[in-house]
């Protein structure tokens, strides 16, 4: 189940329909792919009704899941949406991971590519998957109507059964397959014929995530677990600085390690091939003193603290124009000039690392002639992984058979266009002429991380004589993300770096004059979306700044935001609810509360933190965190809660301890002893509530992360009277700020 393969050939199908209402798929890959894809799971052979659903005469229903599974639950939630409208008996559903074909299985809400990112799976696929399920149900009903010679209107369905109430006849979906004729063109399904939310049997009702039982007994398979016959092991020592290349090489010590087969020069590093993983890692260590590096690449000499100082100076320097207008509403400059009261502030955010628990790795088997390959990897972007392997070998993508597995965490790290951990394995296997498993050590994973960028923010606000917030202006100077992470997508987005800038705009707040502008920087440091993307920095900054504005006005921070949310009733509701949960107005001894609100791709979130501060150590202790979310229809409500609990933990790490620093272009941290993430003994009590609404479902995976830092920051300001202006809010920074 959890190890997935490209379709095999040789499946004979009865036929199937394609397309959703008003749309036809472009079929480039060949129809066989659909049919085979839909019956890939063991024991799930049957009739393919469309590229998403096939039904066997046994009643087993195979449903394709088009997203990769990294713990967020899409492997279950997406097929569940199809099953809802199909009226399938969920216990008879077999989930089949989609083969890497963007044209069929790409996310319509994410540029039509198979890229599991941006918490966009459920929201992007929701309507189409419902339609695909409803189409198959319509075909089943139509076939039964003809077979029994009854009116279609007299038929209904119960889970996996068509019912003719008038005569009491019933027939299971599997039995219909025996005589089903499948139309060449998909039936037209109008949105109003889809189920009402009150009729949902599956959506909104928790089911066991399909792969969960394999995650308590060790049988879940991640890429690092893959073993193929004849496989050897590889490790790669990369240039300490992005873009660097090996210069001189003395590999005598590495080759002297027992079990080492070969040392391979790669364009960006030195690889070791060995009989065992420990031999490969020993030899990798032995190489460190034997390699010198060409100082190619931009980041040599780069220092992250110096860079951030320079960024901050540029952000504040109003003579330096922004070169990208990210968001503009009204005339913020003019309004600032007219304002009765002006407030300004500066904030900074540091690099951060994903720290997914499974260090990057890939298994590759390249043909002896180098003209074909099979790859096993854990990726958020299967079609990019396939393309990256093909580019590295200079062969067509269809010559790469891609097997994608469960991911031991993603958080954005496994979604970059370059998929360099895949390239490692194919280059090493090509050199070895046999299958190779290349594994990164944790130190490799940290040193060669792709990071949340550094940013400096300069904010100004203007209040009119009545105290109304009439102007908001934010200038962001930051390391660009999208041009490094995914150049084609950057150009496809009109060169707008939303991964850096999202969240600067304040769409839910009634502030008539707003401006968010970017001064882009390209430092040569690898940057990447990290769970929460630009929202994490930008909402930290904005929500802390708004508290400064509220305090300046003498307003209660919750009341102040409720007024700003006057045109966003759903936003008011989540904020009011979290204030109730936290007993917002009750004063505490030795602790204080801080609140924040964010709108994140139409998911509305509020949070309240209760903190204490140890003045002698500078340590912030978060005692409680309350959080309320409205994500529209919660397809799997308990999973929404789980994602929020986990996202709050992730956000706490980014807010309090997690920081990557760079000296002379190289990462200074190594492992979990100097990159500190949250553990069980760091945690507050976490209280999450989901407000169910009938709105289109929106994302939940990364949405809670950005709510944490501003709520904590505001609580610390309430408690101490001191505003912290840098994230993470580490003990040394807190101590320094407290004086």
Single out the residue of 219, 294, 317, 337 in contact with other proteins (rule: CB under 8 A): 219
Helices 569-582/557-564 angle, 10° precision: 170
The residue among 136 and 220 lying less far from other proteins, judged by its C-beta, is 220
Q: Nearest Cα to 669, choosing from 355, 421, 413?
A: 355
Q: Out of 19, 359, 532, 665, which residue is the one contacting other proteins (CB under 8 A)?
A: 359
Residue 441 binds other proteins, judged by CB under 8 A: yes
- Distance of alpha carbon 410 from alpha carbon 72, whole angstroms: 10
The sign of the CA dihedral 104, 105, 109, 110 is negative
671 binding other proteins? (CB under 8 A): yes
Q: Quick check: 230 binds other proteins (CB under 8 A)?
A: no
Positions in 289-348 near other proteins (CB under 8 A):
none
Nearer to other proteins, 214 or 329 (CB): 214
- Residue 618's CB is within 10 A of a number of other CB atoms, namely 17
d(C-alpha 684, C-alpha 346), whole Å: 28
Residue 411 or 515: the one with the smaller Cβ distance to other proteins is 411
**Smallest distance from other proteins to CB 731, Å:** 18
Contact letters for other proteins, residues 72-101 (x by CB under 8 A): xx----------------------------
Cβ atoms 607, 578 nearer than 8 A: yes
Window of 309-317, 400-408, 508-516, 540-548 that interacts with other proteins by CB under 8 A = 400-408
Distance of CA 209 to the CA centre of its chain: 18
* C-alpha to C-alpha distance for 140 and 158, rounded to whole angstroms: 12
The reply to whether 220 sits near other proteins by the rule CB under 8 A is: yes
**CB 720, min distance to other proteins, A:** 27
Question: 679, 696, 722, 736: which one contacts other proteins (CB under 8 A)?
Answer: 679
642 binding other proteins? (CB under 8 A): yes
Task: Choose one: 305-313, 469-477, 584-592, 675-683; the region binding other proteins (CB under 8 A).
Answer: 675-683
* DSSP annotation string for 372-424: -EEEEE--S-HHHHHHHHHHHHTS-GGGEEEEE-B-S--TTGGG-TT-HHHHH
**Which residues are bridge partners to 294 per DSSP?**
245
Q: Which of residues 407-426 bind other proteins (CB under 8 A)?
A: 407-411
Q: Which of residues 169-198 bind other proteins (CB under 8 A)?
A: none
Nearer to other proteins, 50 or 116 (CB): 116
SS3 634: coil
**How many other C-beta atoms lie within 10 A of the C-beta of residue 158?**
11
The one among 34, 126, 222, 509 contacting other proteins by CB under 8 A: 222
To other proteins, the closest distance from the beta carbon of 74 in angstroms equals: 12
Asked whether the beta carbons of 123 and 696 are under 8 A apart, the reply is yes
The distance of closest approach from Cβ of residue 234 to other proteins in the complex, given in angstroms and rounded to an integer, is 13
The yes or no reply on residue 15 touching other proteins (CB under 8 A) is no
Q: How far is the CB of 680 from other proteins (least distance, A)?
A: 4
Under the criterion CB under 8 A, does residue 70 sit at the interface with other proteins? yes
Contact with other proteins (CB under 8 A) among 358, 479, 599, 659: 358
> By rule CB under 8 A, what count of residues binds other proteins?
62
What distance in Å separates the CA atoms of residue 616 and residue 478, rounded to the nearest whole number? 33
- Closest CA relative to residue 57, chosen from 45, 39, 69, 42: 45
Angle between helices 533-553 and 705-720 (to 10 degrees): 30
One symbol per residue from 194 to 213: x for binding other proteins (CB under 8 A), - otherwise; what is it?
A: ------------x-xx-xxx
Beta bridge partners of 374: 365, 401
Task: For residue 439, state whether it binds other proteins (rule: CB under 8 A).
Answer: yes
CB 53 within 8 A of CB 132: yes
Q: Give min distance, CB of 658 to other proteins, in A.
A: 11
User: Does the footprint of other proteins cover residue 494 (CB under 8 A)?
Assistant: no
With binding defined as CB under 8 A, does residue 681 bind other proteins?
A: yes
666, 677, 691, 738: which one binds other proteins (CB under 8 A)? 677
Produce one character per residue of 531-545: b if its CB has 16 or more CB atoms within 10 Å, e if not.
Answer: bbbbbbbbbbbbbbb
Select 148 or 278, whichever has its Cβ closest to other proteins.
278
Residue 409 C-beta: closest distance to other proteins, Å:
5
Report in angstroms how near the CB of residue 282 gets to other proteins at its nearest.
9
The nearest distance, CB 226 to other proteins, in angstroms, is 9
Q: Which lies closer to other proteins via its Cβ, residue 360 or residue 549?
A: 360
Among 178, 252, 256, 357, binds other proteins (CB under 8 A): 357
Contact 405, 3 (CB under 8 A): yes
Residue 704 Cβ vs other proteins, minimum distance, rounded to whole Å: 10
Q: Which of 61, 94, 104, 406 binds other proteins (CB under 8 A)?
A: 406
> What is d(CA 623, CA 644) in angstroms, rounded to the nearest whole number?
17
d(CA 577, CA 575): 5
647 scored as a contact of other proteins (CB under 8 A): yes
CA-based end-to-end distance of the chain: 57
683 lies in the binding site for other proteins (CB under 8 A) = yes
Q: What is the DSSP string of 714-739?
A: HHHHHHHS----EES--HHHHHHHH-
What's the min distance (Å) between Cβ of 649 and other proteins? 3
Distance CA(223)–CA(455), nearest Å, equals 34
Q: What minimum distance in Å lies between the beta carbon of 37 and other proteins?
A: 25
Q: How far is the CB of 340 from other proteins (least distance, A)?
A: 44
- Note if the bond before 256 is cis, omega within 30 degrees: no
d(CA 178, CA 721): 74
Question: CB 212: neighbour CB atoms within 10 A?
Answer: 11
Member of 24, 301, 396, 672 binding other proteins (CB under 8 A) = 672
In angstroms, the CA 521 to CA 313 distance is: 13
Would you call 600 helix, strand, or coil by DSSP?
strand
Positive or negative, the CA dihedral 49, 51, 55, 56 is positive
Output the smallest distance, CB 482 to other proteins, in A.
24
d(CA 721, CA 71): 39
Residue 686 is a binding residue for other proteins (CB under 8 A)? yes
DSSP at 352: B
The Cβ of residue 149 has, within 10 Å, a number of other Cβ atoms equal to 6
Query: Closest separation between CB of residue 276 and other proteins, Å?
Result: 7
Residues 333 and 461 sit within 8 Å (Cβ to Cβ): no
Closest CB to other proteins among 251 and 282? 282
CA-closest candidate to residue 509, choices 466, 539, 476? 539
Looking at the Cβ atoms of 121 and 400, the one nearer to other proteins is 121
Contact pattern from residue 236 through residue 275 relative to other proteins, giving x for each residue in contact according to CB under 8 A and a dash for the rest: ----------------------x-----------------
Report the 3 state secondary structure along 449-471.
CCEECCEEEEEEEEECCCCCEEE
**Binder to other proteins among 469, 648, 715, 734 (CB under 8 A)?**
648
Q: Segment near other proteins (CB under 8 A), from 354-362, 421-429, 453-461, 611-619?
A: 354-362
Nearer to other proteins, 135 or 356 (CB): 356
In terms of CB distance, is 347 or 451 closer to other proteins?
451
Nearest approach, Cβ of residue 411 and other proteins (Å): 7
Cβ atoms < 10 Å from Cβ of 516: 26
Rounded to whole angstroms, the Cα distance separating 492 from 495 reads 7
Residues in touch with other proteins (CB under 8 A):
70-73, 206, 208-209, 211-222, 224-225, 227, 233, 258, 276-278, 355-359, 406-411, 439, 441-443, 638-639, 642-643, 645-650, 671-673, 677-681, 683, 686
């Amino acid at each position: 189940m959890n190890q997935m393969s490209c379709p095999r050939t040789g499946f004979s199908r009865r036929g199937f329909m394609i397309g959703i209402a008003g749309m036809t798929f472009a079929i480039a890959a060949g129809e066989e792919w659909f049919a085979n894809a839909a019956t890939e799971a063991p024991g799930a052979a049957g009739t393919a009704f469309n590229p998403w659903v096939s039904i066997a005469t046994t009643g087993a229903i195979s449903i394709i899941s088009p997203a990769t599974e990294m713990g967020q639950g899409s492997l279950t939630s997406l097929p569940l949406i199809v099953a809802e409208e199909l009226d399938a008996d969920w216990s008879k559903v077999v989930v089949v991971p989609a083969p890497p074909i963007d044209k069929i299985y790409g996310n319509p809400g994410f540029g039509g590519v198979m890229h599991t990112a941006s918490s966009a799976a459920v929201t992007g696929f929701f309507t189409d998957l419902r339609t695909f399920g409803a189409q198959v149900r319509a075909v089943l009903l139509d076939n039964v109507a003809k077979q029994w010679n009854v009116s279609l209107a007299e038929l209904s369905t119960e889970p996996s059964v068509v019912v003719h109430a008038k005569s009491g006849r019933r027939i299971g979906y599997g039995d219909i397959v025996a005589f089903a004729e499948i139309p060449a063109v998909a039936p037209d399904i109008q949105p109003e014929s889809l189920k009402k939310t009150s009729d949902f049997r599956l959506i909104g009702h928790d089911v066991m995530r399909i792969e969960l039982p394999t995650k308590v007994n060790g049988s879940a398979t991640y890429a690092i677990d893959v073993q193929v016959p004849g496989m050897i092991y590889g490790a790669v020592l990369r240039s300490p600085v992005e873009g660097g290349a090996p210069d001189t090489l003395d590999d005598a010590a590495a080759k002297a390690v027992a079990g080492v087969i070969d040392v391979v020069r790669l364009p960006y590093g030195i690889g070791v091939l060995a009989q065992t993983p420990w031999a490969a890692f020993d030899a990798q260590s032995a190489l460190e003193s034997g390699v010198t590096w060409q100082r190619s690449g931009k980041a040599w000499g780069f220092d992250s603290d110096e860079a951030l100082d320079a960024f901050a100076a540029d952000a504040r320097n109003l003579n330096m124009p922004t070169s990208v207008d990210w968001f503009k509403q009204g005339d913020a400059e003019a309004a600032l000039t007219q304002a009765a009261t002006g407030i300004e502030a500066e904030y900074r955010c540091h690099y951060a690392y994903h720290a997914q628990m499974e260090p990057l790795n890939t298994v590759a088997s390249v043909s002896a002639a180098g003209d074909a390959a099979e790859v096993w990897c854990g990726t958020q972007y299967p079609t990019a992984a396939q393309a990256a392997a093909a580019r590295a070998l200079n062969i067509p993508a269809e010559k790469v058979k891609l097997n994608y597995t469960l991911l031991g965490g993603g958080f954005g790290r496994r979604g970059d266009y370059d998929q360099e951990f895949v390239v490692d394995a194919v280059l090493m296997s090509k050199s070895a002429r046999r299958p190779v498993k290349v594994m990164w050590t944790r130190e490799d994973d940290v040193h060669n991380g792709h990071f949340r960028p550094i940013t400096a923010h300069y904010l100004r606000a203007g209040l009119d004589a009545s105290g109304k917030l009439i102007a908001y202006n934010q200038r962001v100077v930051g390391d660009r993300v999208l041009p490094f992470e995914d150049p084609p997508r950057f150009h496809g987005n009109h060169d707008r770096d939303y991964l850096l800038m999202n969240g600067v705009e304040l769409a839910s707040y009634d502030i008539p004059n707003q401006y968010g502008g970017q001064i882009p920087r390209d430092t040569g440091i690898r940057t990447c979306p990290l769970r929460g993307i630009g929202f994490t920095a930008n909402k930290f900054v904005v929500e802390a700044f708004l508290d400064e504005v509220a305090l300046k006005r003498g307003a209660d921070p919750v009341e102040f935001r409720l007024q700003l949310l006057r045109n966003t009733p759903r936003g008011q509701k989540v904020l009011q609810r979290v204030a109730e949960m936290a007993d917002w107005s009750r004063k505490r001894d030795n602790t204080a509360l801080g609140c924040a609100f964010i709108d994140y791709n139409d998911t509305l979130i509020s949070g309240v933190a209760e903190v204490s501060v140890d003045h002698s150590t500078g340590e912030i202790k978060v005692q409680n965190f309350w959080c309320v979310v409205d994500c529209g229809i919660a397809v799997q409500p308990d999973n929404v809660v789980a994602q929020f609990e986990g996202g709050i933990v992730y956000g706490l790490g980014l807010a309090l301890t997690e920081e990557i620093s760079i000296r002379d272009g190289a990462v200074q941290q190594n492992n979990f002893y100097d990159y500190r993430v949250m553990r069980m003994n760091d945690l507050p009590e976490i209280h999450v509530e989901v407000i169910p609404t009938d709105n289109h479902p929106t994302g939940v995976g990364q949405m809670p992360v950005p709510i944490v830092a501003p709520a904590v920051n505001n609580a610390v300001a309430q408690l101490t009277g001191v505003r912290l202006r840098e994230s993470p809010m580490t003990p040394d920074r807190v101590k320094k700020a407290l004086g």
